[in-house]
Structure 1
């Protein structure tokens, strides 16, 4: 059965691959699974029909038969569990890959999202200038640790997994800040993720939705 995911009708990132539906698209592409996309406007995300799928009025959502899921991490985990290619078969390796999924979303991403908040949402607040260095220091502390753990390996724990998919997706949010440039090991890690054909297909699909309309 072909699943249906939701995505922004017009993404705030303009198609740069930062919207979270890209992570789900990437997982489905890695797993070789077809999918349909239902585009949702910002107003539509607050309507009852969408809130029945996502109680917090966000995207993406995932529907397959009588199953409806929200939260990107949960959706990617479901895809990885149901289809080969995103989690190792060996039990301990599988558990470690899942741990990296949680690490990407719970440990590495929060300070990166804080950077977006302090620069854009709170940029006009009197405290933002003082808060910014603290947020950057938190990010750098995590990147120092992650870079040391990755070392000269291609991926976080053996073969590419859903843990890498989410970690690369999280780190991509740092590109515009320039912080990632100071970590060549991690920049190369992200580039390897972007070079995967499945990522290229997912990125192109998200970009196509947001391509400028020409005459």
Structure 2
């Protein structure tokens, strides 16, 4: 059984979406941009907002697919992985198992049988995190990835673009009055070349997240 297939497909889908968005919104303006052109302004904003949405969907998928794989690896092969440990530690099943009340009772199921019976609860945590997610900044990455045993490095140069994309999306997608009173950071519209480079950086960082997810499962 190939436990990596969903994770790999998620990244391939993201790459394809970025290519389609770039071809539709950015490529027509490369080298011929008129910064006063309203179409240019709308196209760059559309590219950044839609790429942000695609990346948000991607990291949510990586979290859920990694959890699924971790549960299947344990159920089918008895393999314990970082995602399984992190998710189990957060689960209600684990907290109930080690509660003072439970410790005073006789336990009739083995640790392994208990783990297998808890996989539904464990996986539900990842699904709930994805459903409740609302962004791609560090706070959301920690909740979706670090808490699922997937590492990511904020010191990476590509993460600067990732963070910038989150800022652009927030400023372009919301008027100031609906932006919780915050002053927009992305007040200057970026060039199509800069938008292209920012997108490529974000895809590279997404690829590193894919590789870290596979590594956490021992699949690469």
* TM-score for both structures, normalised by structure 1: 0.29
| Higher-Rg member (1/2) | 2
Going by fraction, where is helix more abundant, 1 or 2? 2
* TM-score for both structures, normalised by structure 2: 0.29
Going by fraction, where is strand more abundant, 1 or 2? 1
